Amino acid sequence: GSGYDAWLGAPPASGDARRQALDRMAFLHAPEEAAPIRAALAELRAAAIALTGREPRPEPAPEGGRGIVLGTPAGCPEAAAAWDGLPDDPAGESYRLVERGGIVVVAGSGPAGVLYGAFHLRRLLRSGAPLGGLDVAERPANALRMINQWDNADGSVERGYAGRSIFYRDGEFVRDRTRIRDYARLLASAGINALAINNVNVHARETRFIGEEDLPSVAAVADILRGWGIRLYLSVNFAAPVEGGGLDTADPLDEEVRSWWREAADRVYRYVPDFGGFLVKADSEFRPGPFTYGRDHADGANMLADALAPHGGRVVWRCFVYDCRQDWRDRVTDRARAAYDHFMPLDGRFRDNVFLQVKNGPMDFQVREPVSPLIGAMPRTNLLVEFQIAQEYTGQQRHLCYLVPQWKEALDFDTQRKGEGSTVKRIASGELHGRPAGGLAAVSNIGDDANWTGHLLAQANLYGFGRLAWQPELSAEAIAREWAELTLGDRPQAADAVCGMLLRSWSIYESYTAPLGVGWMVKPHHHYGPDVDGYEYSMWGTYHFADRDGIGVDRSSASGTGYAAQYGEPVARLYESPETTPDELLLFFHHVPYTHRLRSGKTVIQHIYDSRFEGAERAQGLLEDWESLRGHVPEPAFSETLERFRHQAEHAREWRDVINTYFRRKSGMPDERGRTIY
């Protein structure tokens, strides 16, 4: 009941599932030895034992009998037959599950595919779905499905809300790697295939991770991940050649610097032959980068790409670059413009093994943002779209905020860059512009809390990210249901209720926090709780410009910062005018009077009041819904989660009152329904 097993908990012995397993799982066989295939076999064996209480026999079923066989076309005849006619998949990650003459074949195009197929079969077995006539084939939509840990060597986690790091403690790699293994298993079961194991803010200690002394520890982690089809990446410090590297420059065009990085890459690959590559935050929030030497991001990224290329490695280069020392009096600079202004002109200059990692929105993981205009604007560059599973600005895993619907909205957004249907998901995968590869990346939300994510229900975001990265066509609802059933499966009432709560939660969180896309209004530094002017007079470029008459940021071309014009037509035109901008983004794009009428028919001020009141009420509703599940969710998970919902309900009232009071005082306008505002 602690939540440690997350969505891979022991299957319920429901009648159907048990009968099915008894019927099918007496024989379980995999002729190949690759680690992911052994892992796949172990998963199904454990499922069989949990479902039937019996150990399956590790051999092929006898002639005419029933059983399960796992393998790849290269080493397993049943898999070869099952794969016949299916397209080649050099990545080895796709699979087919097919029932033939009583035998269920888990055929993977490679060992990782077998593992993904086994997890799929495990889901089917748990649900008790009949396997007769089974035939499903899946192939991941994205080549890269990546998680970024923001873990520091000292054991802290930047923006971590679920305890300390599971990778490091007191400046060293942990010795007991059980949790790393269990985490890798969770990630693999959700379809993740890449993991950057240290924070993009690389401090002095982590700068040495690519050195001789730490590489054995890095390799030990990589060995674990490899068994689950996951490649290890390291975040690197662009200034490493000077910060402890013995050189006096980190200029990317300097020959000595280039060979320094080549040697570093060669060294890493000696320890980790399938090393994924480097993740880099450069010239961003006080991190060093090529600007110091008068070079640009392409010079910087390509230098690292050239060092990694001989080994098949990649550079993931973040585009979160903006002026974080802005003067709030400067009304011309617009942080939202920064990523596009910096990177768009460089399209075509990046090597084929460089991936630009672009945050989903132009600012920073707010509850509501438009899609970054950089996405789709660089047809000759590989892309990873970055999301934040960690709920930095969305309740820090104390509030419930199921983010899959937000990510879906972003992925489904039609940039129209190449005509209708130019959706973010097709750009990310590389398909729209014919890129060799692409994908999604996200900041993890786990730590060493017993249930991984602090809030039990925040597990759904981790699971959901993986599932979406695998297949962005899945609906937010299907993913919520899948997670809830796997996690609370033998308690159908709980799974139903929780699914509904998840699906409402983003809109609830949005409706008691910053209104209509304007963002922020949080307490500085830790970003938790309401502070309407917390970032209004600061250097971070995050302003709402509320005065007695109105609120919002004019980002139009006609009278504002011109940000709206960074989109392609007809999207740019849509955002240019307050009349056509969707309500939920109005204040992101326009400064309007409080009396401005939304497309919903309400005035802005009345919308602010109404939605804050409704939001707080609906947060109270979440608490009541959870309370009604007493006895249907095991302890201690039930009580721990109840505490979080209590806090959320109370904190939502705090948000409501701070925001309403601020705007009531600022505008002098009463609530037309006369409710209490202080």
Chain residues binding ligand GCW by CB under 6 A are 150, 158-159, 200-201, 281, 285, 320, 364
User: Residue 441 Cβ, how far from ligand GCW at the closest point, in Å?
Assistant: 11
Instruction: For ligand GCW, give the closer residue by CB, 320 or 463.
Output: 320
Q: Is 364 a catalytic residue?
A: yes
Locate 446 and state its tokens. Answer: 């786990």
Q: Residue 13, Cβ neighbours under 10 Å: how many?
A: 13
Instruction: For ligand GCW, give the closer residue by CB, 285 or 672.
Output: 285
Q: Among all chains, which residue has been given the structure tokens 């809830």?
A: 484
**Sheet with 95-100, edge to edge strand ranges:** 28-29, 67-71, 103-108, 95-100, 135-138
Q: Are 552 and 545 in contact (CB under 8 A)?
A: yes
Q: Write down the catalytic residue from 206, 251, 283, 364.
A: 364
Q: Are 7 and 480 in contact (CB under 8 A)?
A: no
Grouping H, G, I as helix, E, B as strand and the rest as coil, residue 95 is strand
Q: Residue 618, Cβ neighbours under 10 Å: how many?
A: 19
Q: Is 431 a catalytic residue?
A: no
User: Residue 230 Cβ, how far from ligand GCW at the closest point, in Å?
Assistant: 21
User: Residue 352 Cβ, how far from ligand GCW at the closest point, in Å?
Assistant: 25
| Nearest alpha carbon to residue 443 among 397, 494, 505 | 397
Instruction: For ligand GCW, give the closer residue by CB, 392 or 449.
Output: 392
**CA 155 to CA 614: how far, in whole Å?**
40
Instruction: For ligand GCW, give the closer residue by CB, 525 or 673.
Output: 525
- Listing DSSP states for 36-75 in one string gives HHHHHHHHHHHHHHHHHSSPPBSSPPPTT--EEEEE-TTT
Locate 557 and state its tokens. Answer: 């071309």
Residue type for position 285: E
Q: Write down the catalytic residue from 172, 285, 533, 547.
A: 285
Instruction: For ligand GCW, give the closer residue by CB, 94 or 284.
Output: 284
User: Residue 209 Cβ, how far from ligand GCW at the closest point, in Å?
Assistant: 16
For the chain, give the longest Cα–Cα distance: 83
Instruction: For ligand GCW, give the closer residue by CB, 158 or 490.
Output: 158
User: Residue 453 Cβ, how far from ligand GCW at the closest point, in Å?
Assistant: 18
Instruction: For ligand GCW, give the closer residue by CB, 150 or 509.
Output: 150
Q: Among all chains, which residue has been given the structure tokens 């090529």?
A: 290
Q: Are 483 and 463 in contact (CB under 8 A)?
A: yes
Instruction: For ligand GCW, give the closer residue by CB, 285 or 569.
Output: 285
Length of the chain: 678
User: Residue 303 Cβ, how far from ligand GCW at the closest point, in Å?
Assistant: 21
226, 274, 626 from 453: Cα distances, Å: 24, 29, 18
- Angle at the Cα of 298 (from 292 to 301), degrees rounded to 5? 85
User: Residue 187 Cβ, how far from ligand GCW at the closest point, in Å?
Assistant: 20
Helical H segments across 239-293, by residue range: 255-271
Q: Which residues 6+ apart lie within 8 Å of 332 measured at CB?
A: 561
CA atoms in the 13 A half-sphere facing the CB of 154: 8
**CA 598 to CA 588: how far, in whole Å?**
14
| Nearest alpha carbon to residue 584 among 600, 564, 568 | 600
User: Residue 392 Cβ, how far from ligand GCW at the closest point, in Å?
Assistant: 6
Instruction: For ligand GCW, give the closer residue by CB, 158 or 254.
Output: 158
Grouping H, G, I as helix, E, B as strand and the rest as coil, residue 484 is helix
- Listing DSSP states for 401-447 in one string gives ---HHHHHHHHH-B--BTBTT-BHHHHHTSTTTT-S--EEEEE----
User: Residue 358 Cβ, how far from ligand GCW at the closest point, in Å?
Assistant: 11
User: Residue 243 Cβ, how far from ligand GCW at the closest point, in Å?
Assistant: 18
- Angle at the Cα of 97 (from 28 to 5), degrees rounded to 5? 65
Q: Write down the catalytic residue from 93, 151, 392, 449.
A: 392
- The residue sitting closest to ligand GCW, measured at its beta carbon, is 364
User: Residue 540 Cβ, how far from ligand GCW at the closest point, in Å?
Assistant: 9
Instruction: For ligand GCW, give the closer residue by CB, 364 or 482.
Output: 364
- Listing DSSP states for 99-156 in one string gives EETTEEEEEESSHHHHHHHHHHHHHHHHHT---TT-EEEE--S-SEEEEE--B-TTS-
Catalytic residues: 285, 364, 392
